[in-house]
Structure 1
Amino acid sequence: MNYDTRHNTRQITRQAVTADDGRALPITTFEPEGQARGVVLVVPAMATPSSYYAAFATHLAERGWRTVTFDYRGTMSRAEMKAETADVDRWFADVRAVLEAVADDAGGLPVTWVGHSLGGQMVPFVEHNRLASVITVSAGDGYWRRNQPGVRWIAPLIWTAIAPAAIRVAGYYPGDRLRMIGDLPGGAMRQWARWCLHPEYLQADHPEAPALFAEVKAPMMSLSFTDDELMSAESVKHLHDWYSSADIVRQRFSPEQLDGRRMGHHGFFRQANADLWDELVEPWLAG
């Protein structure tokens, strides 16, 4: 593996995990200065680069947790997206390999999964028996009728018309230019669209999903926000009800409960909310 290491208040190591098809999957590890208390794997939202979680990962490392971030394959440049054939199922398999490598390297330390949005949906498709705890942030199912009212009216148009046309023209989904979601490989966007048009979401391709979700037994904390522009309370509940065997603590906050701060779908991971990381995340980290 190739290492690019620098020192500040922590050590940052960049290396690669090998997927089951031989693809090298870059990961970044934020090491604490002393003995790690535990390991945290940050699993990103759709169309959200790992760099977005760097402040969060740094913060956790400074408090003693070895923290790992990564990008989904084919998402690190527009050229990659145009060439990429992966769909979301391929990402599921990749994350399975990342978790295996992280857990193997943990040296007996407990591993916590922090899944943002899509990352909160992936747990049943990995070796979740290797997880000591799970934290989901702004995670719900994506069926369009359970979206927040503000996006519900346009969602079917995105999935059935705008996205397919944009992919044909650009060779990938140019979400940043359209100001709709974010840039994604075409295959991933097509599969996600199919899920979002199905009343049971990913059961469009995975009828076995209820049984897989029911197998997850790691203790779980769900964190969501009333001002999330995408995930409604119904959407969040619907996803977490699938985790029928897990002991789940569900926390949902309004801006009024957070000193007027607005979180939206992505805001929780901004540096300005570091005090909330201490208050709402750290107590649920295994270690």
Structure 2
Amino acid sequence: MQTQTLNTGTAQISLRVYDTTSAPHTSVVIGGAMGVKQSYYAPFAEWLSGQGFRVTTFDYRGSGDSPTDTPNGGLRGFKADLLDWARDYEAVVDAAKAALPDAPLYLLGHSLGAQLPGFLRNQHKVSGLVSIAAGSGYWRDNAPQLRRMVLYFWYVLVPLATRLCGYFPGRSLRKVGDLPAGVMLQWRRWCLNPQYSVGAEGEAARRSYEQVTFPVQAVAITDDELMTWRGTQNLINLYANAPRSVERIAPADVKARRIGHFGFFREQFSQTLWPHARRMFERMGSVANTTA
């Protein structure tokens, strides 16, 4: 594993590159969930690199190991929103494609990481998206246990805490993690809109999603504590012109008691869910070859 810093011109992004010992046949960029550091995906990335993939993980600006440009190095006053994070994703795709220009490049998006590809301006460099535990964040699409408190979260806690602190202090509140104010307040607008990101951002956002033509394959986890089947379908259907499919995986399918929103990337699933992800990339390669 190599640690790198990518200078995008507007931000510095922390990367980790996992290179296979043999000649890599495919490049994968892992887009992380909201508030989840790239280090969380390290065991899966290491495993995937051992399967012949060149894997890149990253932290969005103002999160994880990606530095801020504020005087105290913190998030107070740091300017970033979700569209800036899409630009970060875009820059990482550019760098990964430049490193392996003749190989297909796939995205593996966890939660938010499968939402932002609809905003990429370099979609032509992407060969496919595997979506894990992702869906529309519209609050009525949240899992029942989350819906019970989410309106308090969006209408009281988020505006108040963000205004007082100049960023969202999620680590102290044990919710999501510390996030730039612009990211959190924009995400709030998305989650309060029935059409989620395209409803909040307008027709240009809808068109951007509809320009995606690479295959999109989604995995919905039946015991996901945050996301519902309907929410997953609503997100994937934004990619209206992409070959797309959604499948459900239950803990019983992999002889586990629980998977949940975050479990897919735990090492206990290195013999079950992780090989399934590899097969999904292989299937997308077959789709691309068929439609070429």
Q: TM-score, normalised by structure 1?
A: 0.91
Match for residue 155 of structure 1?
A: 150
Per the TM alignment, residue 20 of structure 1 is displaced from its structure 2 partner at its CA by: 4.3
CA distance in 1, matches of 2:55, 2:273: 14
1:13 aligns with 2:2: yes
Select 1:115's aligned residue among 109, 120, 130: 109
Match for residue 53 of structure 2?
A: 65
Question: How many residues are treated as equivalent by the alignment?
Answer: 275
Match for residue 20 of structure 2?
A: 32
1:235 aligns with 2:231: yes
CA contact (8 A) 1:133 1:284 kept: no
Match for residue 200 of structure 1?
A: 195
Segments of 4+ moved more than 6 angstroms? none
Match for residue 100 of structure 1?
A: 94
Match for residue 4 of structure 1?
A: none
CA contact (8 A) 2:254 2:273 kept: no
Match for residue 220 of structure 2?
A: 224
1:254 aligns with 2:250: yes
Match for residue 128 of structure 2?
A: 133
Instruction: Let me know the Cα RMSD of the aligned residues.
Output: 1.7
The 10-residue stretch of structure 1 (274-283 or 149-158) with the greater mean CA deviation from structure 2:
274-283
Q: Please give the per-residue CA displacement for 1:10-47, whole angstroms capped at 9, x wherever unaligned.
A: xx1122222242x2212110011111121110000000
5+ long unaligned stretches in structure 2? 286-292
SS at match of 1:97: helix
Per the TM alignment, residue 61 of structure 1 is displaced from its structure 2 partner at its CA by: 0.8
CA distance in 2, matches of 1:57, 1:199: 34
SS at match of 1:154: helix
CA distance in 2, matches of 1:76, 1:113: 20
CA distance in 1, matches of 2:190, 2:64: 24
CA distance in 2, matches of 1:274, 1:157: 38
Distance change >3 Å, CA 197–CA 170, structure 1 → 2: same
CA contact (8 A) 1:20 1:97 kept: no
Identity %, equivalent residues: 33
Match for residue 245 of structure 1?
A: 241
Q: TM-score, normalised by structure 2?
A: 0.89
Letter in 1 for 2:53: W
CA distance in 2, matches of 1:28, 1:174: 26
CA distance in 2, matches of 1:83, 1:29: 30
Per the TM alignment, residue 101 of structure 1 is displaced from its structure 2 partner at its CA by: 1.4
SS at match of 2:14: strand
Match for residue 41 of structure 2?
A: 53
Q: Please give the per-residue CA displacement for 1:178-207, whole angstroms capped at 9, x wherever unaligned.
A: 222222112111110111011111121233
Match for residue 76 of structure 1?
A: 64
